Amino acid sequence: MAVKFTTINSSQKVWMARVAYKGLRRAKVCKTKQEARDVEAELLRALKAEALQTQQATAAPATIKHLCELYVLDLEARGRAADSIGRAVTTAKAIEAVSPALLALPISRVTARDVYDFRQGRLRAGSKPSTVNRDLRTIRAMLKQARPDFKFPGAAFLPEDETRVRWLRPEEEILVLEPMPSPFREIAKLAALTLMRQGEILTLRREHVHLDQGVVMLPRAKAGARPVILSAEAQKLLRDRLEATTGCEWVFPSPQGRPYDRSYIGRVFRKAARAAGLKDFRFHDLRHHGATMALNRGFTAPIVMALGGWKTERMMRRYAAVTDQTLRAAAEAVSGAEVLGPRLATDRASALGHESATMTPR
């Protein structure tokens, strides 16, 4: 693969993207270097897809291994977010680790028993129910494309622990985030402030940030392209980062000039969380934290859904929870206590005073 500034037609200066993969070659002329880089990635995906299709056509029948590879390429071709693509890759690795025989199994011979065997293998390996369920959802999506007639066993999904705390109290937020070194501190803060996913932040480009409008435009979010509205604090954070990384296309580049690896960020964050006394709080939980804070400050479900890019209220409710403080305030409201709020408490007191003044003593 290469991106070069070259001359064509004796005098015309252009950027050329060239790609080679398994004997196949493609090239395309572009106007800018950035366009050439984007085209380079697209050409490589197209060549990989073409090579796999050729391989699949000559090797019958197609196997789960082929299906996993084609599914990843399909996600890339459809412009899906890095999180979705990464999940598909992780699921393929999980199949290889706990059920390698399944990879060689022809797609036409997959049964519900194979799905249950994979699930049990993941559980024996120590995976949590939520992790197993994510893998099962990926396998279901893959099989749906290849075998629409296959009835995926819904009973294979495991009940998940919905009681785990996934938000931070103000003092916990300070203890976890502030001691983290830069730029990891800023990455974590931006996740909590904007509800952006880890992959969206790590692959955030300068061109996606529009501080004059107070918005980040994500062209490849998990649920499709979407805008992310920035608070004043988030705008300041991004402004400082853009000034600190002048000349780099990424907002949060690693020392090598590329986006940080997701697993590395996860390890850094877990270490900070444990140092603050939190044993089971992960980076992705910052998204839960932000959604919970918005919901408990009185914003409606549609607003929180738009803020986090969720398509359904059911999905949003998996991330946002009503805190004890909000429930306690609601309980006090039922009892008529003054915790209802200054204005409502004043109105109630005025009404009681008026009633007392108009009553005739017996």
My answer on whether 197 and 248 are in the same domain is yes
Read off the pLDDT of residues 110-153 as tens digits, 9 standing for 90 and up.
Answer: 999 999 999 999 999 999 898 999 999 999 999 998 898 999 99
My answer on whether 174 and 133 are in the same domain is no
Is residue 78 in a domain? yes
Among residues of the chain, what percentage have pLDDT more than 90? 40
My answer on whether 76 and 141 are in the same domain is yes
Task: Check if the beta carbon of residue 178 is closer than 8 Å to that of residue 185.
Answer: yes
Q: Chain-wide mean pLDDT for the chain?
A: 82
My answer on whether 71 and 143 are in the same domain is yes
Is 68 a residue whose pLDDT tops 60?
yes
My answer on whether 242 and 147 are in the same domain is no
Greater model confidence, 4 or 193: 193
Averaged over 11-25, what is the pLDDT?
80
Is 357 a residue whose pLDDT tops 90?
no
Is residue 52 in a domain? no
Read off the pLDDT of residues 224-249 as tens digits, 9 standing for 90 and up.
Answer: 678 898 999 999 999 999 999 888 99
Give CA–CA dist 292/173, Å, rounded: 13
My answer on whether 184 and 117 are in the same domain is no
Question: Given this model, what pLDDT does residue 280 score?
Answer: 80
Give CA–CA dist 140/203, Å, rounded: 27
Is 340 a residue whose pLDDT tops 50?
no
Is residue 17 in a domain? no
Residue where a domain terminates, one of 255, 283, 311: 283
Q: Which of 25-34, 72-81, 317-326 has the largest mean confidence?
A: 25-34
Domain that holds residue 248: 170-283
Question: Given this model, what pLDDT does residue 22 score?
Answer: 75
* pTM of this structure: 0.59
Is 82 a residue whose pLDDT tops 60?
yes
Is residue 336 in a domain? yes
Total domain count, the chain: 3
Averaged over 25-47, what is the pLDDT?
83
CATH number for the domain including 236? 1.10.443.10
DSSP 181: P
My answer on whether 338 and 254 are in the same domain is no
My answer on whether 197 and 268 are in the same domain is yes
Read off the pLDDT of residues 299-328 as tens digits, 9 standing for 90 and up.
Answer: 888 888 888 877 777 777 766 666 666 666
CATH number for the domain including 94? 1.10.150.130
Task: Check if the beta carbon of residue 286 is closer than 8 Å to that of residue 188.
Answer: yes
My answer on whether 146 and 202 are in the same domain is no
Residue where a domain terminates, one of 231, 262, 283: 283
Buried b (16+ CB within 10 A) or exposed e, 25-49: ebebebeeeeebbebbebbbbbbbb
The model's confidence at residue 354, banded by pLDDT at 50, 70 and 90, is: very low
Is 339 a residue whose pLDDT tops 60?
no
Q: List, as one string, the DSSP characters of 280-348.
A: S--TTHHHHHHHHHHHHTT--HHHHHHHHT-SSHHHHHHH----HHHHHHHHHHHHT-GGG-HHHHHHH
My answer on whether 192 and 147 are in the same domain is no
